[in-house]
Amino acid sequence: MRIERRLAELGLTLPPVGPPRGHFVPCVQSGSLLFVSGQITSWGAELRHVGKVGREISAEEARAAARLCALNVIAEARAFLGDDLDRVRRVCQVHGFVNAVPEFTEHPSVINGASELLVDVFGEAGRHARFAIGAGSLPLGVAVEVAAILEIS
């Protein structure tokens, strides 16, 4: 329950998980790797942070959106792992997508919102490889989507 205690120390509550909004599964395990599908800026059924970064959404709001996506990644992992986040040995890679206007160039700083949260929660095991790219659009018009690959025990 170390990670659950850490979430409480940080004052973080994980969003509720629900069925995916498409024909896929939220997580797939292959060996010791857990692939967590792209998570958008939703809290349960409520969409948040909808719009294009650099137009309707500021870079700072987009960082908050990336944090919410990371919380959803953790929530999906917890549900898959039978509520045992201590099985996460390492965050290996984060994939970050930013729904931005063409001239926006601060994708890495937006996805830092997710990266920083993962390090806050998992400590050194939360440090990861990553990519952050711009997208012309994202599902349901959300500002950010984040996927991850985790090593689990």
Contact between 114 and 94 under an 8 Å Cβ cutoff? The reply is: yes
pLDDT digits 0-9 by tens, 67-122: 999 999 999 999 999 999 999 999 999 999 999 999 999 999 999 999 999 999 99
pLDDT at position 145 is 98
**Where does 2-17+25-152 sit in CATH, by number?**
3.30.1330.40
C-alpha 153/C-alpha 145 separation (Å) is: 26
What secondary structure letter does DSSP report for 85? Answer: G
Helix orientation angle between 2-9 and 107-122, rounded to the nearest 10 degrees: 120
pLDDT digits 0-9 by tens, 92-105: 999 999 999 999 99
Contact between 14 and 71 under an 8 Å Cβ cutoff? The reply is: yes
